[in-house]
Amino acid sequence: MFSKVARLTVRHALMLGVMAIALLAFTGCASLPDYVDRPVSTAIKPEVATSLGDLVKSRRQGVRPGYSGFALIDSADSAYSSRLALTEQAEKTLDIQYYAIHSDPSTRELLRAVRQAAARGVRVRILLDDFHSTGENAQIMRMAFVPGVEMRMFNPLPGRRGSGTLRALGSLNDFMRIQHRMHNKVYIADNAWGITGGRNLGDAYFGHAQESNFIDMDVLAAGPIVQDMSASFDRYWNDKLAYPVPSLITADELKVLRDAARQAEAPPVDRKVVADLPAAMDLKNEPLIWASAALLVDKPAKLVPEENEQVTEKEQDTVIDGLLSWMQQARQDVLIVSPYFVPGPKMMEFLAAMRARGVRIRILTNSLASNDAPLAHVGYARYRQDLIKMGVELHEMRALQREMARTVFGSSGGGSKASLHAKMIVIDGRLISIGSMNLDLRSQLQNSEVALLIRSRALSSQASKLIEQTLDEGAWKLKLNEGDGDLVWQAPPGADFDDARTEPDASRMLRLILWLLGPLAPDEML
């Protein structure tokens, strides 16, 4: 006899199958274009003179050869102002690569500056993962038709862009391909200054979402490492998975987008957001820490080799594999920040080996209430007790209220709730990684990722202090009850929130999802 949960699972699977068949019948056999004109282009040479390049040279005087300059972008305001500064001061090129670009007030204002850059002769290339470019966010694709702007979509799904869910269902016959997403995030001006980290482009990342904002971290880079970032961008831009927008949108679809944009009137909140946006960062006086660094980046096709391509084991290493290798060299302490933490059996073995050598491991991730992806929490939750028994110090961030959010990584902005989105690793207080990757199987096996690995005690110390402030003021430490072995969420001393014995601040519905799906959902899909 099936259990009730099993019967529900089978019923839902059958319903999804029927929906998919009906959708395929309705939409027909939508497909991607067979022939695509994809002109090759690359970053400008480092020796090309630009004001941003000259600024780097003047600031590198007396610095060791090969070192680059870095600054943590730890607040919503600095996240916006740094990107605006690169946009306004670019003279030759502007390369923008993101997993998601949202059509909302702050991003529309930033893209206004991008259009102005194109108008003054800057070559603009925008590379966007295709998955979220539906509904209102499809408006971003109009940038492809701005003079001076080229735009490509990475690994696109066929079909119209009215609904992301319907497009995904319509591509179920190609399920493995649509699971491969470009999660990279870089913003580069004149091959001289660049930004990478956890943030996409949108109100929630710039502190202006109405309900919930992301607590995130980027890093501003200047100098030789930016040339590696540009080389990475070029490789993705010229890959066969990158489709120029004009090859994906018909003239009729473009007209619909333009008509919708003309009819939409900016509500008062849009004007308020624009008024609250910060001015461009002063790059001349922004403090920089000079250090050696390396860029870790996945191949565009990741674990999917080209036809007839022989891929060696070494070439299959991913960003996550590289970071795990560096973590294995830790002697004292590893501090991990990952909003979605689904380690899987192999990563658990890595962590156990580190603990066996006496390495202290601290992990900060989302609580169920602060997690914007509850299904990811399902995969993480099944490892919590084993992690604690292993000796890992496990912390979950509170879904912070507005007045408290400003104490964590700067400011989360106007929403009443905050969700952790930063992705960082600090090793022995001397090596720091900041990038787009989560420590989960999706980042390891399916998404492409990018990360900067910087050897700097000063930068590691800055980041560690910010993280530890969160641990001390805005996160629970998980323990096991001595009596029954159940989880206990322990509030920091003096906190204005209490200990808990169930998922704190989470609704009954969220806890029910966790209970129902916990035993069923595979790690690699979360």
Q: Could you tell me the pLDDT band of residue 269, with boundaries at 50, 70 and 90? A: low
15 pLDDT more than 50 = no
The pLDDT, as a whole number, for residue 21 is 43
DSSP 8-state symbol, 201: B
313 pLDDT more than 60 = no
The pLDDT, as a whole number, for residue 362 is 98
The larger pLDDT score, comparing residue 26 to residue 260, is at 260
Active site residue 102: no
The pLDDT, as a whole number, for residue 268 is 72
Q: Which of 180, 421, 440, 523 is catalytic?
A: 421
Once rounded to an integer, what is the mean pLDDT over residues 48-76?
Answer: 97
The residue type at 354: M
Summarised one tens digit per residue, pLDDT across range 84-141 is 999 999 999 999 999 999 999 999 999 999 999 999 999 999 999 999 898 899 999 9
Q: Which of 183, 208, 377, 417 is catalytic?
A: 183
Query: Are 397 and 363 spatial neighbours (Cβ–Cβ below 8 Å)?
Result: no
The pLDDT, as a whole number, for residue 103 is 94
Q: Tokens 């998975």 correspond to what residue?
A: 241
Tell me the three state secondary structure of residue 343: coil
Residues 463, 450: Cα–Cα separation, whole Å: 19
Active site residue 208: no
Return mean pLDDT, the chain: 87
Q: Could you tell me the pLDDT band of residue 304, with boundaries at 50, 70 and 90? A: low
Q: Tokens 């007209």 correspond to what residue?
A: 255
8 pLDDT more than 50 = no
Q: Which of 92, 102, 132, 185 is catalytic?
A: 185
* Of 69-78, 183-192, 446-455, 501-510, minimum mean pLDDT range: 501-510
Q: Could you tell me the pLDDT band of residue 165, with boundaries at 50, 70 and 90? A: low
Q: Which residues contact 496 (CB under 8 A, 6 or more apart)?
A: 404
Residues 310, 14: Cα–Cα separation, whole Å: 39
The pLDDT, as a whole number, for residue 28 is 45
Residues 32, 21: Cα–Cα separation, whole Å: 19
The larger pLDDT score, comparing residue 147 to residue 158, is at 147
Summarised one tens digit per residue, pLDDT across range 429-438 is 999 999 999 9
Please provide the size of the chain in residues. Answer: 526
The pLDDT, as a whole number, for residue 373 is 86
Q: Could you tell me the pLDDT band of residue 30, with boundaries at 50, 70 and 90? A: low
Q: Please state, for a pLDDT cut of 90, what percent of the chain lies above it.
A: 68
Backbone angles phi, psi at 100, to 5 degrees: -145, 135
The pLDDT, as a whole number, for residue 367 is 95
Q: Could you tell me the pLDDT band of residue 405, with boundaries at 50, 70 and 90? A: very low
DSSP 8-state symbol, 272: H
Quote the crossing angle between the two packed helices 51-59 and 76-89, to the nearest 10°: 120
314 pLDDT more than 60 = no
The pLDDT, as a whole number, for residue 408 is 47
278 pLDDT more than 70 = yes
DSSP 8-state symbol, 264: P
∠ CA 439-458-492, nearest 5°, is 60
Summarised one tens digit per residue, pLDDT across range 140-157 is 999 999 999 999 999 998
The larger pLDDT score, comparing residue 410 to residue 364, is at 364
Alpha helices (H) in 314-418, listed in sequence order: 319-327, 344-356, 374-381, 384-390, 402-405
Residues 477, 397: Cα–Cα separation, whole Å: 9
Residues 216, 206: Cα–Cα separation, whole Å: 9
Tell which phi-psi region holds residue 148, choosing left (phi > 0), alpha (psi between -120 and 50) or beta.
left
User: How many other C-beta atoms lie within 10 A of the C-beta of residue 11?
Assistant: 11
Active site residue 190: yes
Active site residue 183: yes
Q: Which residues contact 123 (CB under 8 A, 6 or more apart)?
A: 41, 92, 93, 94, 148, 150
Q: Could you tell me the pLDDT band of residue 266, with boundaries at 50, 70 and 90? A: low
* Single pTM value for the model: 0.91
The pLDDT, as a whole number, for residue 169 is 63
Nearest to 147 by CA among 114, 189, 103: 114
Active site residue 440: no
Residues 291, 295: Cα–Cα separation, whole Å: 13
186 pLDDT more than 90 = yes
Active site residue 180: no
Q: Could you tell me the pLDDT band of residue 24, with boundaries at 50, 70 and 90? A: very low
Q: Which of 239, 321, 428, 505 is catalytic?
A: 428
User: How many other C-beta atoms lie within 10 A of the C-beta of residue 395?
Assistant: 22
Q: Which of 92, 102, 395, 423 is catalytic?
A: 423
Summarised one tens digit per residue, pLDDT across range 210-265 is 888 999 999 999 999 999 999 999 999 999 999 999 999 988 889 989 888 887 76
The pLDDT, as a whole number, for residue 194 is 98
Q: Which of 130, 190, 203, 216 is catalytic?
A: 190
The pLDDT, as a whole number, for residue 188 is 99
Q: At 240, which helix (H) or strand (E)?
A: none
